Structure 1
Amino acid sequence: MATRRQFATGLAVLALSRHAFAQGRYPDQPVKIIVPFPPGGPADLVGRLLARGLTEQFNQTFVVENRAGAGGIVGVEAVAHSRPDGLTLGIGSSGALSVLPNLMPRMPYDVAKDIQPISLAIAVPQVLAVHPSVPAATVAELVALAKRQPGKLNFGSSGSGNSLHLAAELFRARAGGIDIVHVPYRGAAPALTDLVGGQVQMMFGDVPVMLPQIRAGTIRALGVTSAERSTALPDVPTMAEAGVPGVESESYYGLIGPTGLPADRLEALHQAVKAALQTPGVRQPLMEQGGRIIANSPAEFTAYIQAEATKWAEVIRFSGAKLE
């Protein structure tokens, strides 16, 4: 019965989205989704899955254009300054919408004024992992070790001021101000390589990036930074379960457009994303990333972006984090 009800709900959402597009006389032209990162990463996966899902929903072509640079800023700027006709959309991420505006004195767009959030697709937690040589099998043991040996443990990140660095700073504060040394890298890949090699002892990293090494046993997962356990790491406790509450950090990805999108097209896109995220071809690959599929409304996505910006502004303030 539940399966039939879910199927009926999906059909209703699909019908509504198509009706809304028809009512808004959506231009019969290809729609571009700008992914502000190179091919192959989680933002690219989300963009391509949504493009495929929306193409199926509306029988109209949605194509991905990768426009990388400046941690997602270049691509989001292109969306912000595009015509609000619904033909140029983009993938908005936590860095470009909630973190970097708190770190950069001059942004080429104002998130509140220039960006129209459409729907948050997925939020992916980070996982705290250590090199196997670190004598700590739990988060509590790691905190105790850091307190016994202040300044002796180090952690890698994908760069000063980015989300992985800030997750570690949040952990440092919530764990009682432990003294651990930051080692910034130019990207998550070299940081993870050195974690596997033992050059750094711990690291926060997005679950899908860390998962292969965790499964291979080359690094040890201690805790995830979501409110609930990750579906990809069901045996790994949340940071709260592990004894350090308040360490919640997720990399989020959602569909955005420029401010000024007509209301009917905005609602049509929101309903279409909801419907697409219910289809197995879109939902299953996203679930494999170990995150939460959300599909919230434009208003809810807007509030989420602001709440995340407020949280990270406070972490940046007390940690003194800066971009390098």
Structure 2
Amino acid sequence: MRNSVPGRRKALVTCLLLVAAAAAHAAGFPERPIRLIVGFPAGGGADFVARQVAQNLGQALGGSVVVENRPGANGTIAAADVARSPADGYTLLLGATASQSISPALTSKLPYDALRDFTPITMVGSTPLVLVVNPKMPAKTVGEFLAHVNTGDKPLTYGSAGTGNITHMTAELFMQSTGATRLQHIPYKGSSQVIADLLGGHIGAYFDTLPSSLPFIRNSQLRALAVTSAERAGAAPEIPTMRESGVAGFNASTWFGVLAPAKLSPELTNRLYEALRSSGSTPQARQAMTERGVEPVFVTPAHFQAELEADLARWREVTQKARISLD
């Protein structure tokens, strides 16, 4: 019993020293370039968001943030890479609905656990999807599109950025909601490849993220029929919603957020959160995002964790109803 008080004092001192060391490390962070891994090819919506986030975060921290594209497997290759990395703040993931919510709902064989193997930092934005077609298609509304699909000689092909991607699952939701069955899925390895074939007339339609398609919509290379959000997008208020187009209750969007490997220290987590929130909330940063159809969204790490859990549960329900599994 006589050694219990000194023992507790020693443990307290050790704890205080560890806290002080962590605080000092956070204060000097970053001492080398930070890698921001994005699981989708250059040129798509996720890549655009990643590069905006990297620029803002680097300026806020006074360091360098380098974007690395690791495309493939619906963003899960990049997510797995980050999950295996040291929790030191120098490797971050630009996560999205595809890698953190839909893929885990589709298979139990991922090399990571979407909830346990990451430290959520914050969401950085969300965007609706948009149904786009080649302007040569006669359909100018969702109703005309459905009539074109249902009366065609053969099924209409639509592209996605990969099986299980948000662009695929939104199309599945559309078919469930409208009863359209004459749509044939053609999976690609990224958004830019889908758009290239859509521009070339090799496929008929695409449920793309708005940032990816918006430049082609604005120069009339693609025709937008409807956005998938409950309300019209601020970047393109002329495009009606699915609900306005007669598809009752339809609502789908994708989020982007920054995550670190599991067990990142609270000090570094908070340092990164504050840097992302402050740098992404300036008028210039917000304008850069909203002009491309991304609504900036910043939530605390705890709030982000709760959103991840709810989103995963939602997409599990959707994939079960669609009877889609990658197992």
Residue 129 of structure 1 aligns to a residue in which SS?
Answer: strand
Residue 57 of structure 1: aligned partner: 60
- Asked if structure 2 preserves the Cα contact closer than 8 Å seen for 1:225 and 1:238, the reply is yes
- Asked if structure 2 preserves the Cα contact closer than 8 Å seen for 1:35 and 1:44, the reply is no
Shift of 1:293: 0.7
Partners of 2:42 and 2:136 lie apart in 1 by 34
Amino acid in structure 2 at the alignment position of 1:275:
S
Partners of 1:63 and 1:80 lie apart in 2 by 18
Work out which of the residue numbers 170, 190, 195 in structure 2 matches 1:192.
Answer: 195
Q: Does 1:272 align with 2:275?
A: yes
Q: Which whole-Å deviations, capped at 9, do the CAs of 1:200-227 have from their partners, x for residues lacking one? A: 3322112122223323334321110122
Work out which of the residue numbers 177, 180, 205 in structure 2 matches 1:178.
Answer: 180
Instruction: Give the share of equivalent positions with the same residue, in percent.
Output: 35
Residue 139 of structure 2: aligned partner: 136
Shift of 1:277: 0.8
Amino acid in structure 2 at the alignment position of 1:97:
Q
Residue 118 of structure 2: aligned partner: 115
Residue 35 of structure 2: aligned partner: 33
Q: Which whole-Å deviations, capped at 9, do the CAs of 1:267-309 have from their partners, x for residues lacking one? A: 2221211101122443332222202110111122222222322
Q: Does 1:158 align with 2:161?
A: yes
- Asked if structure 2 preserves the Cα contact closer than 8 Å seen for 1:99 and 1:162, the reply is yes
Q: Does 1:90 align with 2:93?
A: yes
Q: Does 1:309 align with 2:285?
A: no
Change (3 A) 1:281 1:130: same
Amino acid in structure 1 at the alignment position of 2:185:
V
- Asked if structure 2 preserves the Cα contact closer than 8 Å seen for 1:153 and 1:201, the reply is yes
- Asked if structure 2 preserves the Cα contact closer than 8 Å seen for 1:124 and 1:289, the reply is no
* TM-score (ref. length: structure 2): 0.81
Residue 209 of structure 2: aligned partner: 206
- Asked if structure 1 preserves the Cα contact closer than 8 Å seen for 2:37 and 2:92, the reply is no
Work out which of the residue numbers 285, 288, 293 in structure 2 matches 1:290.
Answer: 293
Change (3 A) 1:86 1:194: closer
User: Which segments of 5 or more consecutive residues in structure 1 lack a partner in the other structure?
Assistant: 1-19
Structure (1 or 2) with the larger CA radius of gyration: 2
Change (3 A) 1:165 1:71: closer
Residue 127 of structure 2: aligned partner: 124
Residue 15 of structure 2: aligned partner: none
- Asked if structure 1 preserves the Cα contact closer than 8 Å seen for 2:280 and 2:286, the reply is yes
Amino acid in structure 1 at the alignment position of 2:181:
D
Q: Does 1:262 align with 2:265?
A: yes
Partners of 1:110 and 1:197 lie apart in 2 by 39
Residue 319 of structure 2 aligns to a residue in which SS?
Answer: helix
Aligned residues between the structures = 304
Residue 252 of structure 1 aligns to a residue in which SS?
Answer: strand
Amino acid in structure 2 at the alignment position of 1:85:
D
Q: Which whole-Å deviations, capped at 9, do the CAs of 1:112-140 have from their partners, x for residues lacking one? A: 11111111111122101233344432223
Q: Which whole-Å deviations, capped at 9, do the CAs of 1:84-112 have from their partners, x for residues lacking one? A: 23232221122111111122331111111
- Asked if structure 2 preserves the Cα contact closer than 8 Å seen for 1:31 and 1:88, the reply is no
Residue 9 of structure 2: aligned partner: none
* TM-score (ref. length: structure 1): 0.82
- Asked if structure 2 preserves the Cα contact closer than 8 Å seen for 1:156 and 1:184, the reply is yes
RMSD over aligned CA atoms reads 2.8
- Asked if structure 2 preserves the Cα contact closer than 8 Å seen for 1:223 and 1:237, the reply is yes
Partners of 2:254 and 2:248 lie apart in 1 by 18
Residue 159 of structure 1 aligns to a residue in which SS?
Answer: coil
Between 160-169 and 308-317, the greater mean CA deviation after superposition: 308-317
Change (3 A) 1:133 1:56: closer
Amino acid in structure 1 at the alignment position of 2:285:
V
Amino acid in structure 1 at the alignment position of 2:91:
T
Change (3 A) 1:254 1:151: same
